[in-house]
Structure formats: structure tokens, C-alpha cells
Amino acid sequence: MISPGGLVEKPGMYRGEPDAWVYCDRFSYDEGDTVSLKTHTTAEKYDIEIIRDGYQPKFVFLRTSLPGRTCDTPHDAYAVGCGWPEALSIHLEEGKWEFAFYLVIIPIQEFHGRVY
């Protein structure tokens, strides 16, 4: 798919390969907010891992064996968003989440146990 800015990756681009995608409803959050995670995957089950990035990255969240699902993605998702339903929400309790950059990773096991 080509956007006005160039090539855009999207679910299903690589036929026959496992797919796993995740995005949040916003770019930044404050303590007390709730993060809404939207996912798309061809895997039967997947995990969500969150790592606080930095000089010494720290593993801060894990949810395992979530049910996988695929979602339709508009051709202009780069402009209007994907519109996927919420897969998981995480409440950011005050004092438990530091101001930082967090990585959200959704590993899947597909094709003879390989982790993607």
C-alpha cells in the first residue's frame, strides 16, 4: 500500500507469514488514565508484554494466552486509523507507572513453535 508519504506496512502484506500488530488509542497518557490496546493477529493466541525502555529496560506487564483475531484494516488507515476493537485495557494506577517510554510487544507462536 502506498500513502502520500510512501510505502506503508499493514496486516496481510506478507501472505503465508504470521501476522501480529498492536496499537494504542493515544500517543501519551497520564497516571490514572486507561490505555486501550487494539490488536490484530493470525495466531490462535498471543501475549502482551510491556517494557519500560531506557538505559536499563524493565519488564513491567505481562498478559498471556489472549485469543487471537484478525480485523479488517481500511486502505487509508495511515490517515483515519484502523478502527479495530479493543483487545485489552490497562489502568495506569498512580505511583505504579513511571513517566517513560514503554514498548508494547505481542509475541506469537506460529509455524512449528517459532516465536515472532
Q: What is the rounded distance in angstroms from the CA atom of residue 16 to the CA atom of residue 12?
A: 9
pLDDT of residue 3: 47
Q: How much of the chain, in percent, has pLDDT values that exceed 90?
A: 60
pLDDT of residue 16: 76
pLDDT of residue 17: 78
pLDDT under 50: residue ranges of the chain: 1-3
Instruction: Quickly tell me which residue has 536499563 as its cell.
Output: 56
Q: How would you classify the pairing of strands 45-52 and 58-67?
A: antiparallel
The pTM of the full predicted model, rounded to 2 decimals, is 0.82
